[in-house]
Amino acid sequence: MTEEEARIIAEPVIKNIVNCMAEGNYERISEYAAFSEGITPELFQEVAEGYLEDNGFPHYDTYGVPNLFQPQYDKSLYKQLNVYVYNNGSGFGAEYDLTTDGELNDLTLMVEFRYDEDQKLQPFIDDLHVL
């Protein structure tokens, strides 16, 4: 699998999860991805909403809101959605930098796509943390 193939698979899943977060529809996230061991839907919501509250952010942006990030390096090198294809063939990881009002808010959604016993890729929310 190439990075571009992984991105095509990951993007609609990430989009749905991010949009659920932006709309406060955390109960719908499990329609798009399972939660990795040790992460419950309740814990995920608690962390996501707690981060907003602790930092005074009103909301998360929906997927595709223009990102106003202006890095000191060539902006074309920055991608809000990054994918990492695993060398061992077990799947790939995806990271999405969340924004509020077009500004990065330092919180990153991490989703792992793993092959199941039928060799179908299954998404698992792995983490939500400050990078």
CATH number, domain of 52, equals 3.10.450
Q: Rounded mean pLDDT of the chain? A: 92
Rounded to an integer, the average pLDDT of 15-27 is 97
Q: What is the domain range of residue 70?
A: 3-130
Longest dimension (CA), the chain: 45
For residue 78, name the pLDDT band (cuts at 50, 70, 90): confident
**pLDDT at 4 > cutoff 90:** yes
DSSP string, 87-106: TTSSEEEEEEEEEETTEEEE
Q: How many domains does the chain have?
A: 1
Rounded to an integer, the average pLDDT of 12-39 is 96
**pLDDT at 77 > cutoff 80:** no
**pLDDT at 83 > cutoff 70:** yes
pTM score of the predicted model: 0.92
**pLDDT at 125 > cutoff 90:** yes
**pLDDT at 99 > cutoff 80:** yes
